[in-house]
Amino acid sequence: MLRKKIRINPESECLRIEGFIKEKRQEMGRKGALLGLSGGIDSAVVASLAARAIGPECVSCVFMPEKHTSRDSGKHAQLVATRLGVEYKTHNITPKLNNFGFYRFVPGNITISMIRKVLLSVVRSKDESSFESGLGKSNSKFIAQANAFYRIKPRMRMMVLYEQSEREDLLVVGTANKSEYAIGLYASHGCDDAVDIMPIRHLFKTEVIQLAEYLDVPKEIIEKPPSPDFIAGMTDEGIIGLSYEILDLILLGLELGYPLANIAAEIGCDSLDVDYVIGLKRKSQYRKDIPYTV
């Protein structure tokens, strides 16, 4: 039943999102839309929807690589922009990060492969604090440095987007999906959080894939493993410790109020996986509800 419920009508959903983008652009009085094009499936889908909603001539896309960005990311971002006919530019953020002293966050004796190994070992332990509270208590200083290592990248990209949006009077469009937002797999105040509108944040990753297929997003983008692209070889599913298919079905079951045992039984996953996702949701909630004095 959950697998059936997670299927959507791509045509009607695209029309609904396109209407939302068009409405918000008019409501905010902006000349066009601006988004970061990463070479991944989420930004490809959002760029496609924006181009359909307000016309490709009103959409600007920026690819913002840095020294650790995969070469395929630039190739795929360019491919999407060319197919859509939108304005496209590259803004390399490496010099900005260098000026900020960013690459010194990770001491010289710590290599990228070491960061990858520690992150994967911690996350795959299914410690519910994986994305919050410093990714666990062991190696806390090292993990804190790793957090700083990747989180400043989307924050720098957010600043690049807003600098251009202010100059050109453009609406900053986010590309976060529901799956990642639910478990906190994003950087607070980064380019997947601090934006003007979020057209696909109501969609699970597997639903975004359905839209991508309908919108004829290049096959190589749909089929490549989703990745944060901040360390070579890291994938979203490797970080999460679950496939998006299982994660999304668990999240949907929780959303619909299914008994926990029923979720695990219907999906065919371990009950510990359900508990793990509940923990991730709980640990990331404070980022969505900023505390204030009453």
Domain count across the chain: 1
Residue 111, pLDDT score: 57
Structural domain range at position 68: 2-284
50-85 per-residue burial string, b: 16 or more CB within 10 A, e: under 16 = bbbbbebebbbbbbbbbeebbeebbebbbbbbebbe
Average pLDDT for consecutive 10-residue bins of the chain (294 residues)? 96 98 98 98 98 98 95 97 98 92 63 58 48 48 70 94 98 97 91 96 98 98 91 83 96 97 95 94 83 82
Residue 134, pLDDT score: 39
In which region does residue 35 sit, left (phi positive, over 0), alpha (psi from -120 to 50) or beta (all else)? beta
- Crossing angle for the helix pair 244-255 and 205-214, nearest 10 degrees? 110
CATH of the domain at 183: 3.40.50.620
CA angle 103, 109, 111 (to 5 degrees): 65
Amino acid letter, residue 217: V
For residue 169, tell me if it sits in a domain: yes
Residue 92, pLDDT score: 97
Residue 140, pLDDT score: 65
Say what the pTM is: 0.90
Residue 104, pLDDT score: 72
Residue 128, pLDDT score: 41
For residue 146, tell me if it sits in a domain: yes
For residue 293, tell me if it sits in a domain: no
